[in-house]
Every structure is written in C-alpha cells, then in structure tokens.
Amino acid sequence: MDSPNFLTFHRDEARHDFFSDHRDRPPFFDPRTRTWIVTSASDCRQLISSDKLRPATYADDYRALGQRFNIDFSALVFAFDHIPLCQHGDPHARSRRLASEFLAARRTVVAAQIPDITARHLSAFKRTGKLEVMNDIIEPMIREYLCLISGVEIGAAQSIGHISSIFDRSSGLNKRQAMESEIAALRELIVSRLGRHAPEDEVGLRLAFFILGMDPLRGTLGESLHKLIEANAGLRLADINYPAFPPQTGVPFIERLVITPFNSGTAAFNSGDRVRIFLQSFSSEQSDLSRANFFGAGTHACLGRPLSLDIWQGLTAFLSEIQLRASVLSYTPRTSDYVFTCPEKLVLELHS
Ligand code: HEM
C-alpha cells in the first residue's frame, strides 16, 4: 500500500497492516484531503492533547454557508453551539462541566440496566444459525442506551441516521440539508419531551449526547466484535479472552487546526493547517492503556468513556457465558460518510 487514499483509508482493510508496518512513519501532507496525516501511535499520543492545535468550530462555517446559498441551517448551528467539542476557552469549560455533571449522574442509572438491556438485545447469540449484528442488535441497543443516557425517549421511528456525520466536511449540500432536517426533528422531539419552557442549554446538551454518542458507540462495538470474533474463530464465546477496552474504534481519527506553528521531525505545521490524528493507530499496540487513547486526551477528552466502557464490558460479560462458537460470514463497511468507521452489515454464524 504505497499511497493510500486518505479519504477512505479509515475503512480500508489494509489499514490494519499499515499501522503495524509503519510504526515510525513521520507526519506527511496529503494533497487529496489537504491535511497533515499522523499515523504513528507515538506521534498521535503527543499531538492529541497538544495546545498548539484545536478542534474546528463548525457553527461559523454553517452560518456562512446558509447565507451564501440562502438555506436554513439553524438547527445545525444550534447543535454546534452546544457541542463541547466545538467550543473553546470559557464557553468550552462551562459546556464541558454541564455535560460532565449530567453524565456522571446518569452513570448509575444506566449501569443498573446494562445486564437487562444486553440480555434482551443479544439473546440471538444463544441460538445456532445466522445473525446480522448491526441492524438487528447493535443499532436498536445503541438507540436504547442513548435515550437512557440523555433521559429522552425518541422512539424507533425517529430518523437519526445522519446525526453523527455532521462533522463530515466532505458532504454535499443535499446531505447537509438532510442532516439539518434530522437535527431539527430531533431537537423538536427533545423540546416536546422536556417541555416548551426547557432552557436551551438543556435541549442542546441532550442533542449533543445523541450526536457525540451514536456513531462512536455503534462503530466501536461493531468493529470490535468483528475483529474479536474473526481473531477467535473456532473458540467457544465463553473461552475468548475479552479485553477491558474495545480492540477497535469507531472514531478513526480526530481533526485539528494548527493555532501555534510548530515542527515535528522535518514537517513544519503552520497556523491554519489541518491535522488528522489517527486514533486507529492505537489498535496496533495491543494494550488497554494504549487503547484508552481511543477516547482522546486532554481538554476535549471523551466524557462518555466510563459509560461506553460499562456498555462494552456488559456485552463481553454476556458473551463470556455462552458455550456456542461464532464465525464471521460477511462484513460490509459503511461507506456513507468519511468520519466514522462502522460496519454497515456484520453477518455471523453461531454453531456448537
Ligand atoms: C466507544 C464510544 C466512544 C468513543 C470511541 C468516543 C471517542 C471520543 C473522542 C476521540 C473524543 C475527542 C474528540 C476530539 O478530541 O476531537 C470524544 C469527545 C467527546 N465524547 Fe466521546 N466517544 C464515545 C462515546 C461517547 C458517548 C456515549 C458520549 C455521551 C453520550 C460521548 C460524549 C463525548 C463528549 C461530550 C465529548 C466532548 C468533550 C469535550 O469536547 O470537552 N462519547 N469522544
């Protein structure tokens, strides 16, 4: 793999060998994505919490886009104004504190229900035969968790397929309008559940949880199950040695803008440059400590990490009681966005 396509690299099977075979590759500029690409785990570790970089602020881009094409992007602007990841300085500290207090309080409520939710959604793992994991198990389970975490019931019919993709810079206008409609509908639903007089911050916080939690959780569980079952083909589910941290991540990279110029090896990073830090590189390191970086680090480190690990560990605890064996019949990566790694379909066969 001489010159990967970094638009699709995060879902290319060849990435697994690439991360193992190019552990020392220095950062390089990719003309196609117009970003610096960082794929060595040690460089990634250094850069994820660097204060010379910061996440992009999308709200202003959508305000400008809305004016230019005379399109209403007010729901997207509202969402970005409430997502902690898109805030800086004092507004970020405030928004992060609100989110952190809320999630800490929900953790006990969620933890109490994990055994029941897992057992209900994963019951098909106890029967021999074919099983499609993503649409039939992971998707409805993640929905239930996100409703439980945010304390808002959205029902099965609500379309939220695009919500996490709002960070995808490569989307065309039609897709952006589809995202605007989904976010507007979800926001309206949250308002109707919380009451018309609910403060905007309360509505925005819940919207942010759906956006930040949905695809990361769906992708991480799906990709991790895929690789775990593939690597342990032939073993009883009860005999697999399950890691405390998921082995793969649904958040393949994080993107940053350079705010203070710096050098890394021979690479000179200038103000305004974009940098793509591949968190997927940590999957090649085989240690829970390294894979903890799947959740970012520093100012914007993931606030959903404890809950997500509880959910992963609930899932593996359930599987570790099952005497059947599983093998992967087919795996289809999702190709509808360029920011997450997630199976579209994962078909397994359960047998004795
Ligand atoms: C396995 C699942 C998850 C993974 C792999 C994951 C990964 C990440 C990563 C890498 C970041 C940092 C992004 C950056 O620095 O650019 C992040 C931020 C964040 N995540 Fe997660 N996440 C997961 C689940 C969740 C869930 C379920 C929630 C809440 C419902 C959540 C809430 C947040 C929040 C609020 C932030 C922003 C923190 C801030 O900017 O201060 N995450 N996540």
Residue ranges of domains in the chain = 9-351
pLDDT at 1 exceeding the cut of 60:
no
- 7-21, 54-68, 157-171, 317-331: range with highest mean pLDDT: 317-331
Residue 31: what residue type?
P
SS3 54: strand
Q: How many CA atoms lie within 13 A of 21 on its CB side?
A: 7
- What is 9-351's CATH superfamily? Cytochrome P450 (1.10.630.10)
CA distance 191 to 205: 12
Residue 150, C-beta contacts closer than 8 angstroms, at least 6 positions apart: 106, 190, 205, 206, 209, 210
**Where on the phi/psi map is residue 155: left (φ > 0), alpha (ψ -120 to 50), or beta?**
left
Nearest atom in ligand 1 to the alpha carbon of residue 299 is 41
Banded pLDDT at 2 (limits 50, 70, 90): low
Between the CA of 322 and the centroid of ligand 1 the distance, in Å, is 31
| The ligand 1 atom nearest the CA atom of 254 | 16
Amino acid at 83: I
Tens digits of residue pLDDT in 36-88:
999 999 999 999 999 999 998 899 999 999 999 999 999 999 999 999 999 99
Q: What are the pLDDT digits (tens) for 261-319?
A: 999 888 899 999 999 999 999 998 878 888 999 999 999 999 999 999 999 999 999 99
Question: Which has the minimum average pLDDT: 53-57, 168-172, 201-205, 267-271?
Answer: 168-172
Distance 269 CA to ligand 1 centre (A): 26
Q: Measured between alpha carbons, how far is 321 from 336 in angstroms, rounded to an integer? A: 35
Residues 115-134: what's their mean pLDDT?
97
DSSP string, 247-284: SS-S--EEEEEESS-EEETTEEE-TT-EEEEEGGGGGG
Residues with CB under 6 A from ligand 1: 55, 84-85, 96, 99, 149, 209, 212-213, 216-217, 220, 249-251, 254, 279, 294-296, 300, 302-304, 307-308
**Contact between 340 and 164 (Cβ < 8 Å):** yes
pLDDT, residue 3, reads 75
Point out which residues pair with 333 in neighbouring strands. 343
Q: Whose CA is nearest to atom 2 of ligand 1?
A: 217
Give the pLDDT of residue 284.
83
With 0-12 / 13-18 / 19 or more C-beta atoms within 10 angstroms meaning exposed / middle / buried, residue 349 is middle
